[in-house]
Structure 1
Amino acid sequence: MTTVVYSSDEEINPVTMLQLDGNDDDAKENNDKKPELVPTSVQHQTYRLNSINSTVVIRQLPSQGLSFQLWPAATTFVKLLDSYQPSNTDSFSAAVTNVKIRPPLRILELGSGTGVVGIAASAILGADVTVTDLPHVLPNLVFNADANSSVVAPRGGQVHVAALSWGKLEEMETIGRDYDLIIGSDVVYHDHLYDPLIQTLKYLLLGGGDGNGEKVFLMAHLRRWKKESGFFKKAKKHFKVELVHEDGPSDASRTGVVVYRFARKDAVFR
């Protein structure tokens, strides 16, 4: 896989690794709809999935904003999925294997952006995956899902695309809770979205009765700002939050990607 290169010239590791214009007003920052995408400055990235002897190709549109670019934590998540086996004893594999599965595995991805993690999960695990983001991000999500449908189909996977604004009850109810696993990568960076994200996780993990006891949220995260500790402090009031994977620092960053498991506080894992 190609490594995403980023800088580390501010407090911890800011979003300066992304190609932004000065007026970026991306989906993860607000809920405004934007006009139909004009695919200028198109970039493509290929991810080799050794576990299924195939590749996923993802279209990026850097000029469109943050949600149209690949982020470091997504690359880590894809690598972990590609190395997953039910018999593996590493913490990430154990976190996936522990999920109570009703074939086919149903996965919901929050803040999907380009959709690479959800598409890879569907292809590798043969899962029924719903990738979500704000409305103006969806055309590129649909494009990437369709472009990789021949990679997803052989193992019985499916990728669905849906709008979801964190914290909006009507949209959360439309999406529903009927999933075995919730996933996300690089979703914690704007502090005004901490509470809406936690509200969404409470709906998905804590609502719906005892059947949610083993449902978890696996979140890949690259730490950038000290203020992010505020998100985790709030999250730990409602969830059991455990570290299940950690990459060491790279040449381009003082911090590595970490993966957390969020679950109900009374969750008991095998």
Structure 2
Amino acid sequence: MSRTFSVPRGTDEPVEIKIAEPALRAQGLSLQTWTSSYVLANLLHKLHVDIPASDGAIPVLELGAGTGLVGLTAAALWNVPVVLTDLPPIVQALAGNIQLNASIVNGLVDCGSLDWAAPEHLTLQNGQTRSSHTNKASVILAADTVYSEEHPELLTKAILSWLADGSSSRLILTYAMRVAYLDQIRELWQLLEAGGLEAIAEGREQASVDDWDDECLCEWSVWRWKPRTDTKA
């Protein structure tokens, strides 16, 4: 199936993102655009990010990109390079959606696989690797990445590994408020805070139940590193 999403970009005309959803499955889930990805894509034009120029850094990294709607939108709105990551079986589909939107993203988007259990390296589609030790990300995006008991710990591990140091770095999360995973969402917040991050903005958005058959109430949050305190006596 192929769909076109009209995503707002402030006062300008909306950007049209084309998304193909092939019949693929990974970890028991079909490859499709979930409600929270659409919600986050629609929020990006409202969220201010400061992405400094830095050799070797990844301006925007998306974890669990799925069909790539969020990362493609970020590239189109912010005009910065974006790396979409997901499980190996999904990467070819991501590459296809990058190609579908080539005229919009202007060569700014790449894709690859990243294992949250061992997140120090990601492998791009062309076989090149990027290391979290040398190629950290200024902004990390993650939509609908909490749907199992293991995900809070694994996702936190990947985030803490890749998010660049500095007061301008941001983590932007969105997830559907599914009753079955509310405990995992709370655990994710606790782990992120224990890892040195703090939420600086948050809110909830209700997607149209006529357009989506998933949970339509979604929560979003923006995170940064906690300011370091001066420990000098």
TM-score range relative to shorter protein: 0.7 to 0.9
Residues 250 and 199 of structure 1: CA distance in aligned 2, closer, same or farther (over 3 Å): same
- For 1:73, the equivalent position in structure 2 comes to 36
Residue aligned with 2:117, SS = coil
Task: Tell me the distance in 2 between the aligned counterparts of 1:246 and 1:169.
Answer: 29
- For 1:127, the equivalent position in structure 2 comes to 80
Residues 190 and 152 of structure 1: CA distance in aligned 2, closer, same or farther (over 3 Å): same
1:200-239 alignment runs, 5 A limit:
200-205=158-163, 211-224=165-178, 225-228=181-184, 229-238=186-195, 239=197
- For 2:60, the equivalent position in structure 1 comes to 107
What is the CA distance between 1:106 and its match in structure 2? 1.4
Task: Tell me the distance in 1 between the aligned counterparts of 2:102 and 2:150.
Answer: 35
Task: Tell me the distance in 1 between the aligned counterparts of 2:215 and 2:158.
Answer: 30
- For 1:44, the equivalent position in structure 2 comes to 2
- In structure 1, which of residues 261, 264, 270 is the aligned counterpart of residue 222 of structure 2? 261
Moved more, 138-147 or 211-220: 211-220
Residues 108 and 249 of structure 1: CA distance in aligned 2, closer, same or farther (over 3 Å): closer
Give the alignment's Cα RMSD to 1 decimal: 2.8
What percentage of residue pairs aligned between the two structures are identical?
21
- In structure 2, which of residues 106, 109, 128 is the aligned counterpart of residue 159 of structure 1? 109
Which digits, 9 at most, give the CA deviation of each residue in 1:192-227, with x for residues without a partner?
12212111111123xx6xx43321110111121232
Task: Tell me the distance in 1 between the aligned counterparts of 2:161 and 2:81.
Answer: 20
Residue aligned with 1:112, SS = coil
Which digits, 9 at most, give the CA deviation of each residue in 1:159-179, with x for residues without a partner?
011110113144258343432
CA contact (8 A) 1:105 1:127 kept: no
CA contact (8 A) 2:177 2:215 kept: no
**Which has the larger helix fraction?**
1
CA contact (8 A) 2:35 2:214 kept: no
Letter paired with 2:43: L
Residues 264 and 54 of structure 1: CA distance in aligned 2, closer, same or farther (over 3 Å): closer
**Correspondence 1:192 to 2:150:** yes
Residues 107 and 53 of structure 1: CA distance in aligned 2, closer, same or farther (over 3 Å): same
Residue aligned with 2:116, SS = coil
Residue aligned with 2:60, SS = strand
Task: Tell me the distance in 1 between the aligned counterparts of 2:96 and 2:228.
Answer: 37
In the alignment, structure 2 segments of 5+ residues that lack a partner are 123-128
Residue aligned with 1:235, SS = helix
Task: Tell me the distance in 2 between the aligned counterparts of 1:264 and 1:240.
Answer: 6
Task: Tell me the distance in 2 between the aligned counterparts of 1:69 and 1:254.
Answer: 14
Q: How many residues align?
A: 207
* TM-score normalised by L of structure 1: 0.67
What is the CA distance between 1:137 and its match in structure 2? 0.7
Which digits, 9 at most, give the CA deviation of each residue in 1:75-95, with x for residues without a partner?
0111112xx2xxxxxxx52xx
* TM-score normalised by L of structure 2: 0.77
What is the CA distance between 1:46 and its match in structure 2? 0.5
- For 2:125, the equivalent position in structure 1 comes to none
